[in-house]
Structure 1
Amino acid sequence: MDRRPQITPWSAARLGTIFMDFAHEPTPSRLAEARLARQCLSKFWLSAPIDALELLYGSAVGDSYRQMIGGELASQPLLRDEEAWRDHLSERLFSGFDRPEMANILLAVMPYFRRGKMKVRNCEQNLPAWLLEDYASLFEPELLPRLRQPSPLERRALAPAGATRAVPAAAGAGARVSAAGAEPDAPPLPQLSSFTGAQALQLTGSEEFLTRLNGLVNLFEIDPDDGAIRQELGSFRRQLGQIWLDTPEDRLQPLFESPFGDLYRKFLRSGYAATPLAEEDRQLRSQLAQYVRNMTRPKATQVVLAVLPFYPPGKIGFAGGEQFMPQWLLGALPSLYVKN
């Protein structure tokens, strides 16, 4: 064992900043930084414990990784040593998917391939479920509609259980929240982000999370046509929604009145909600809106807070559902889209 180990300190937050800076302004110096950050993450996945990969992928390290593969770094020509690294990992990867380290190698090599330029045979059988959709988004987007279909169990849950008094949602981009009576079964709520439960709630006190979101909102207000900013804000919008979905009833008002709640309202007032939605976001919005067509359902208030950032001002209305909303939210609704 080397008595003089070389230790290079790094942080997921720093890597995320590097990829964000490169996306915003791809100068040669920022490209060089992004290349080194990619190498750092690639080596990290190779040494990560096999049984902790899913947990790590859902952590801040995974966030930085997804930010990288979702950007344009892979579209840059590879340096000679990067090509050699990619080819070596590819040879290991495609030698067989029955080895326990294959997920490590796949995570390490994916960032070195351009979109659509890598294909794993029988990916739905060979890839772990937690990685499959991100892989498909990059390399086999034609699989996404099938991957996002409800499972047979979810389809049974979505099937009508009998006549209800729910008011249909309005056509077009608007939605109506109804005060219809309770139903035997409520439709399942979608998962909006990889950070769920306790992990999602921890973000409400994360200085890194709040600072980054605040900076993105400020940048959007300066340049609302910047594609990279809009794309990253889309990820934050889904995370905001997931946080509200996972917040217990008795913590909703304190969270709404906290610095996190202030930033949530700033997000709504920024005008970002009026930008066109991607197809995935339209589907998520539709599922959330369908749920609050009946405000007597459990977690209806959480769902209202989660869905608001997906609707432009004036495009969500209420058809008697107000009587089931807490007063602290009802009183705030008129000002949520109004700048201070």
Structure 2
Amino acid sequence: MENDGPPDLGGEESSRYFLAGIRGMRARKKIVLCERTAGGEAKEIWSWAPTAHRLRGLPDAVVTALLHGESVTEVRVADGGKKLAVLMGNAAMVLSYPSGEVYFATDCPGTGVHSLEVLPGNLLATADTGGVEAGLRIFSMNEPYTDEYQQITGLASCHWLLWDRIDGVVWAVGTNRWPNGSHPDNEVFGRVLAYRLQPENEQEPVSPVPVKDIALPRSQIAWEFAGGRDLWFDGPHVVCPVPGKRVFLIASDLGVREFDLTTQRQKPLDTTLTEYFGSAFKPTARQRDEWHKTGNPAGNRGMRTSNMKSLSVSEDGSLLYIQAAWKAGDFAKSVDVLDKGSDRAKGYPLGTVYKATWFQEVSGWETARI
């Protein structure tokens, strides 16, 4: 499906259109661009799925990677809205919009890729969550297909990337080590790192040594799946820019906190939730709600109250986010929108989803141009 042309990015249209990835086996998975209608629905106006037509001419390794499994891990605006960056199956790619032609693609077998971001210099960064190679991979898009990359390790559970044109860095969130319960309470904590671009260095276009390292408060949390894993540590999943401000929001298992780049100060979870969500923030299950309201009910030590997998702030201040459902792994069945000035979020059922974002350029955080 293709629309007549791209909607305007930002401004009055900033909370009208959003992107999401819908899970499905093989060619049933897809990315969608939806328009919020006056009737309260999310109308699909553009989509891309790995159909035979779309896969024609792609390398076999990329085709296999795109068709692998059910995941559509991420889709986001790139190149001022002329491109979309997509994680689908085991592949990372950049599509031209609205044609849907593949501008760049690479297969990512054996990795836990959770995020990607286009960088200046025709580069693509991906975030790998697990193993000794956890961290960033940097690909040159000068050729349409490649499996060669610069590898930056040292950030476990790396979940999100964000280009910052003002400081010339790419921000990445993760933890200092894999956040399971096998470590003592004081050993695992969230990190937000900034890596500077160094375009004069062809071998290492992104500095492997972070220029900023923000530590988040330590918190061990109860795992909500009976008979499942050990206790887990709170870790960041999202770094979300706030339009027109040198501020971003960091969403984790427990909640959302604001970080001010000018003052270098973090706001507590409760203060941030009140400021941005008001009374509209709701954990997605009774058990999480009990923790959110009472702080520490018996047996619910550190219950995950947000379990937020994606968060996006529009130019008009409306919030679009996905909270994983109770005991549903990392996924939800709808995309939630909290319009500016509203005290209740509206859900848009789409299918099984992991992440969504407004179709917009964020003022002060504009995407890198290709």
TM-score, normalised relative to structure 1? 0.28
1 or 2, which has the higher strand percentage?
A: 2
Greater Rg, structure 1 or structure 2?
1
